[in-house]
Every structure is written in C-alpha cells, then in structure tokens.
Amino acid sequence: MYLLPGLIDLHVHLVWDGSPDPVEQLRKESTERTLLRAVRHARETLEAGITTVRDLGSIDDLAVDLSRAVERGDVVGPRIVPSGRTIIMTGGHDPFWGIMVDGPQEALKAARHQIYRGAGVIKVSATGGVYGRTEGESATHTELNPDEICAVTREAHKLGVPVAAHAIGREGIRNCVKAGVDTIEHGKQLTQIWPPNWPRTEAPWFPPSSSTDRSPRDRRSRSTRVPKRKPYSPSTRERSRPPGRRTSRSGQGQTQAPRSLPTAP
C-alpha cells in the first residue's frame, strides 16, 4: 500500500464529454445536461486522486458555479480554480465560450467582469487553435493584439488573479511573454532555443494537448519552464543546477530536478 499526496491537473475542461468532437456535443445539448456531466466529472476526478484542477474554459461560466458548489459542500469534487469563459477577439478561438473583445478597453472590461463573476484565473486566446471553427481559423495566426493582452494581464495582476494564455503560434507566444502572462498553454511553436531578442520570463509552459506531437523520450527531456539565466555553457549549467538529491546506484532517493531549456548563445 502506498500513500500519495493529492495530484494537481492544471488544464481541464470539466464540461467536455471526452468524445472526438466535444465542441459539437456542447452545441447539441442543453446547459443543464452539460452541468450535470461536469458534476459527475468533478466527482470522478477526485476519486482518481486529483484534489485540485484548473478549469480553463466552460460555457456560461459553469466551472465558476461548480467551484462554488464544491466549496459549499453541495457536490463532491476537487478544488476547482476556474476561468469560466475565455477572452477572445471577435471571431476568435473557442467562440462557443468566448467573450469577444476589440481593443484594450473591451479587454479590460472583460477581465474585470470575469473576476467579478468569480474566476480564479483569467484565460485569453492569443492564437487560433485546431478546433472550434470549421473555417477561418489557423493555429499559427495571432488573435488578440499585444495591447489587448497587456490590458488583461495588468488588470488581473492588480487584483491578484493570474492569467493563462492559449498560444500555439510563435508570434502569439511572443506577445504573451511580452505581456507578462503567467502560463502559456500548448506552446507548440516554442522552440528548444529561446530567441535572444525575446524578453526573459518565468511563465511556465503547459502543453496539455501535445502528447501526440513528440515521442515519450522527447517529452521527458523537455522542461516546462522557460529559462531565466546566462547563455548556456557546461560550467554555467553545473553552477546553476537546482538543488536536489541524485538517485543513488541502489535506486534509493529522489531523482534530481529536470533540466531547463538552454538559452541561445
């Protein structure tokens, strides 16, 4: 028998049904039925040993209401940190649960509204995606403008709320880094070498949908944190290695901390 601390899942959508096309399923069913499924998923998540989730997108802010129901003890589930609806450009990614904005003032108002609604994290779509719209969308296209993302991050951080950004394309990732978002979701075009003209950031990179993009060995070799250090060299790497216990030859002890991505020379 083993004792394991509660796990944390940083990117979930409790309203989804897990089918090949969850968006189409949302369109066909009522909000009440979607909520009932989210309640069941919350219970099953907790039973699986996950005690905290970050829900990054739900229609009608259902995850916000579900989070409150869990806190009150009305339903059984993990601690939920919800974003509710996503802040997107007009016609942007995930329109089915998006708040469409044009310009920094509308982005500011949307951020304030979601925080007022009870969001524990603000979600923005900085690029297109691979689902949601049948035409007119590309995962590499930038969507929200830099000033719109900056307006969201400034206001959210002022009120103590973090910002997560859906960002797949390179320029969209760059806009998020410059705006100071807290986490980058997906990050498909984030390269192994951090571009030298990009600002340094401490934003972690969470690739929830990248499991089929790289081999297991490649996924294990990558860090999820963009580096904030001097240009790579063997001596620098050894001096800046995070403290941690090495695995002994007998197999006892903990493994050392994962390597960070090298910066460009």
Tokens of 241: 């290695």
**Rounded-to-10 torsion of CA 159, 162, 163, 164:** -160
pLDDT tens digits, residue range 5-15? Answer: 899 999 999 99
Tokens of 70: 């869990």
Distance, CA of 117 to chain centre: 20
Domains of the chain from N-terminus onward = 1-82 (3.30.110.90), 86-226 (3.20.20.140)
Average pLDDT over residues 190-207: 64
- Contact, 171 vs 194, CB < 8 A? no
Residue position matching structure tokens 């949302």: 26
Does the pLDDT of residue 76 top 70, yes or no? yes
Q: State the pTM of this model.
A: 0.75
Amino acid occupying residue 163: V
Question: Comparing C-alpha atoms, which of 4, 97, 7 is closest to residue 53?
Answer: 7
pLDDT tens digits, residue range 136-175? Answer: 778 889 999 999 999 999 999 999 999 999 999 989 998 9
List the end-to-end C-alpha distance of the chain, in Å, as a whole number: 48
Question: In angstroms, rounded to a whole number, what is the distance separating the alpha carbons of residues 198 and 200?
Answer: 7
